[in-house]
Amino acid sequence: MIGPVPVATPDEMESLGRRIATIVDPGDILLLNGSLGAGKTLLVSGIAQALGVDVQVTSPTFLVVRKYEGVLPLTHVDVYRLASTAEFTDLELVEAAADGVLAIEWGGAVRSALPPDLLAIDIKVEERDLRSVTFRGEGEWDVRRLAELTT
């Protein structure tokens, strides 16, 4: 586990996302958890910037999924409104995103439908604008890559 990493502003959250982009590989799954407005979408926006995605990332809440073209393709999913894990499985997003990075907001809800190896990122709202971010590699996800994030 790495963290909690303090993140004091929205800009810092995007900047953390840009650093995460430097350690991801094709096939990586990022599971984003944290309450409403914690900063999950902002973190994905930072990842997208560093992957060279040239449009602004917005919340995919109503569309469920968006795929962006960057240095690596970035698939951004928000499962908040999905009724069931089965519905998630039916979308076959893990397969569709395998050539790039898959970032799932509220991912904990569909954990059982995902492969064992992934990076879980938890964002906790501390006070006002302060967030703390914790990284946990699950399964065989190579946590050594995380060392570069905090240096």
Ligand X SMILES: Nc1ncnc2c1ncn2[C@@H]1O[C@H](COP(=O)(O)OP(=O)(O)OP(=O)(O)O)[C@@H](O)[C@H]1O
Q: Which residues lie near ligand X (CB under 6 A)?
A: 7-10, 12-13, 34, 36-42, 59, 105, 129, 131
| Contacting range for Mg ion; rule: CB under 5 A; set: 5-13, 36-44, 68-76, 113-121 | 36-44
CB atoms inside a 10 Å sphere around CB 40: 28
Tokens 């998630």 found at: 88
CB atoms inside a 10 Å sphere around CB 88: 22
Compare residues 7 and 110 and give the one whose CB is closer to ligand X. 7
Q: Are 85 and 111 in contact (CB under 8 A)?
A: no
**Minimum distance between the CB of residue 140 and ligand X, rounded to whole angstroms?**
27
Q: Which residue is nearest to ligand X (CB)?
A: 39
Whether residue 115 is preceded by a cis peptide bond, meaning omega within 30 degrees of 0, is: no
| Contacting range for Mg ion; rule: CB under 5 A; set: 12-20, 40-48, 106-114, 129-137 | 40-48
**What distance in Å separates the CA atoms of residue 35 and residue 127, rounded to the nearest whole number?**
13
Please identify which residue in 16, 24, 38, 40 interacts with Mg ion, judged by CB under 5 A. Answer: 40
Contact residues toward Mg ion (CB under 5 A) are 40-41, 59, 105
